[in-house]
Structure 1
Amino acid sequence: MSIYNNILVVANVNSDDQPALARAMQLAAKSRSPSHVTFFLAIYDFSYDMTSMLSMDERDAMRRGVIHQREQWMQSVAEPYLNEGVVFDVRVVWHNRPYEAIIAEVFAGEHDIVIKGTRKHDILESVIFTPTDWHLLRKCPAPILLVKNADWPADASILASVHVGSENDTHLGLNDLMVEQLKCLTERLGAKPYLINAYPVTPANITIELPEFDPTTYTDAVRGHHLTAMKALRQKHGYDEEQTIVEQGLPEDIIPESAKNLNAAMVIIGTTGRTGLSAVFIGNTAEHVIDKINCDVLALKPEGYISPLDPNTAS
């Protein structure tokens, strides 16, 4: 199980404030093992590659100059966050697709987590663009920690959003992985752990199409199934009933509400490989959850996940 000591931090080129770097240094400072933090940036300017009046060598020299300037800026903005005992370096690459550059660096540097600042995406942007965040959630083999705020709240909790209603082996494995990471992170950061599960509301059309259908009995059966499965999961990992939440409703409603009520500093979600999103997060639900939560979100892939950008499997 990863303990997050080889950390890749994605720089925010638009600000001197670097909450992702702050979180990385917090994790590194509380580690029992030596930690290495790489501050990373992918940059690209189309004009440097299309300047026909310049020779190839001159264009290369211009690119190197831009990269050097960014490296100096990153060293400068990183200075307030640095901790003694944490190995730190800066890496800037020339690449026109940031998410591909980030994932390539994950493989090259064998990083065990990617930490990136995020923000609420407005409707227009989410319609026209696919943000780097979502590409990383779907395709990056390493855990992705999306950081909303630099400050870690006092008396904080961490929630693991488990999918206990499923009997799918991938989901069951992800549940165990999330709970193991929850235990590791709450101990490391001094937070309170909670397991949370949302189960579906009875579809209204069933009662119309099947007059003999009893929605109350059905709802009770579904809730009972989820409570039993949650009990088995919490007992397996040594948690008390008071540390579990099983609520009826949509994940994008239940998870943010619970995160707010429990003063959550982080929510852990599971993502699967084929679509990048767990079956509990159908369609854009993961995006809605992340945008509604005003805290960090840690997204984990199942064991054995193979990224479509894995250089070892490229044809």
Structure 2
Amino acid sequence: MKTIRNTLVVMDVKQPESMILNKAKLIASFTQSHLHLLVCNKKNDESVHLQAVVNSLRQEGFSVSAEQAWEHCEYRTIIAVQQMQGCGLVIKQHRPDNPLLKTFLPSEDWKLLRFCPCPVLIVKSSTPWSGGAILAAIDAGNCDVSHRVLHTGIVGHGHDIARMVGGTLHLISAHPCAQQLAADPVYQIKESIHSLYLEHCKALQAEFKIEDAQLHIEEGPADSLIPEIARQLEVALCVIGSVARRGLSAALIGNTAETVLDSLDCDVLVLKPDDIITHLEELAAPPTNAVLDQAIHSWPYSHSPEPDIWSAPQAAIPAQQGYGEALSPGVAAQPAGLKIR
């Protein structure tokens, strides 16, 4: 999280802006990152409103730029701008979907989680993170190298955010019931399953100094257990991993991050394994094959913050002028810091 230098904030003019802007300002204050505001709209000109938001944020000391863009659909627009601006984090406010329509078609939020090459923060609640519970959700049953890297990233991000806001980090892993795994003798007794998952969590628990009372290993499907524990703990943010499921299975059931997203009442930060991020970056890269600055991404993950960085909020870096001044041919000049595409 602390390595992010450029954050994309997707604004929805049909929803209250204070909720997403408060979370964006919190992250920018601690990471010293630049905020790039985006409105995905091909019809109405939102330049006046965008410029007003930019001016307000700059008066508060934040480095901000903005643009209005459209590339076929919302999630494609977001990814295109994320790639062009080199953003290491996307922040988007959740938009409730029609349940019947989503039965047949994945929502825009689902598609963004599936294809975005960088971490995505979905803002669902106005509840402040300060002093709250942060829940890191992993699948301790998958302990291959790629999953261990992902688990470390998930818990590490949760650890850093908990330190950042003075909150409490909790770790959860759901495990299947014994009947589902009866073919394997190791899994025939419920206590054996719990012990195995606990053993896999011990290293993370020790590394990030998680108390036993803050470790939750319980039986049940992850997509129902995680929201249940989150509600019990009144969680402010849930950090979860996503392995982008493809094909028919994706169309029918999505993946855990996507299905949990609809059930959680709190904000959700979604991460992906390193190899998936690399693959998605290749798919999303522009035809020019421009090489993005790897420093803007929070992967490979390092959770060892410098004490002076995380001990207190830092002043935002000075506002950068001239962001997004290049306009498409035939488009009227916009105020500094605003680009309409």
After TM superposition, the score normalised by the length of structure 1 is 0.79
Aligned to 2:230: 259
Q: CA deviation at 1:239?
A: 2.4
Match of 2:78 among 102, 109, 120: 102
Taking the TM superposition and a 5 Å limit, the aligned residue runs for 1:201-212 are 201-203=177-179
Matches within 5 A, 1:248-287: 248-273=219-244, 275=246, 283-287=254-258
5+ residue gaps, structure 1, are: 46-65
What amino acid does structure 2 have at the position aligned with 1:311? P
Q: Matched residues in 2 for 1:287 and 1:274: separation? A: 10
Q: Is the 8 A contact 1:121 1:291 kept in 2?
A: no
What is the match of residue 311 of structure 1? 286
Question: What number of residue pairs does the alignment pair up?
Answer: 281
Runs of at least 5 residues in structure 2 that lack an aligned partner in the other structure = 290-341
Q: Deviations 1:59-83 (Å, cap 9, x if unpaired)?
A: xxxxxxx4xx312122335666666
Aligned-partner Cα distance in 1 for 2:256–2:216: 19
Task: Select the structure of larger CA radius of gyration.
Answer: 1
Instruction: Give 3-state SS (helix, strand or coil) of 2:177's partner.
Output: coil
Could you say which residue in structure 1 is the equivalent of 2:63? Answer: 87
Is residue 2:98 matched to residue 1:127?
no
1 or 2 for the larger relative contact order (CA 8 Å, sep ≥6)? 2
DSSP-derived class of the 2:136 partner: strand
Deviation, structure 1 residue 215: 10
Of the structure 1 ranges 247-256 and 285-294, higher mean CA displacement relative to structure 2 is found in 285-294
TM-score (norm 2): 0.74
> Using a 3 Å threshold, how does the CA distance of structure 1 residues 216 and 87 change in structure 2: closer, same or farther?
closer
Change (3 A) 1:88 1:77: closer
Q: 1:160 to 1:16 in 2, by over 3 A?
A: closer
Contact preservation (8 Å) 1:27, 1:189: no
Deviation at 1:224, TM superposition (A): 1.0
Answer whether contact 1:267 1:295 (CA < 8 A) is retained. Answer: yes
Contact 2:181 2:188 in 1 (8 A): no
Q: Distance in 1 between matches of 2:287 and 2:194?
A: 44
**Deviates most, 9-18 or 172-181:** 9-18
Distance 1:129 1:204, change over 3 A: closer
The residue that corresponds to 1:22 in the other structure is: 22
Q: Secondary structure at the match of 1:238?
A: coil
1:130 match: secondary structure = coil
* 1:180 maps to 2:156: yes
SS of alignment partner, residue 85 of structure 1: coil
Match of 1:40 among 38, 41, 66: 38
Cα 1:13–1:130 change in 2 (3 A) is farther
Deviation at 1:153, TM superposition (A): 5.7
Cα separation, 1, equivalents of 2:228 and 2:264:
8
Q: CA deviation at 1:99?
A: 1.1
Cα contact 2:244–2:255 (8 A) shared by 1: no
Measure the CA separation in 2 of the matches of 1:97 and 1:15. Answer: 18
Report whether the alignment pairs 1:170 with 2:146: yes
The letter for the 1-side match of 2:194 is R
Q: Percent identity?
A: 30
Question: How far did 1:151 drift?
Answer: 3.3
In structure 1, what is the Cα distance between the partners aligned to 2:71 and 2:145?
37
Matches of residues 142-153 of structure 1 in structure 2 within 5 Å?
142-152=118-128
Quote the RMSD (CA, aligned, Å): 2.9
> In the aligned structure 2, how far is the partner of 1:204 from the partner of 1:108?
46
* Corresponding residue to 2:193 among 177, 200, 222: 222
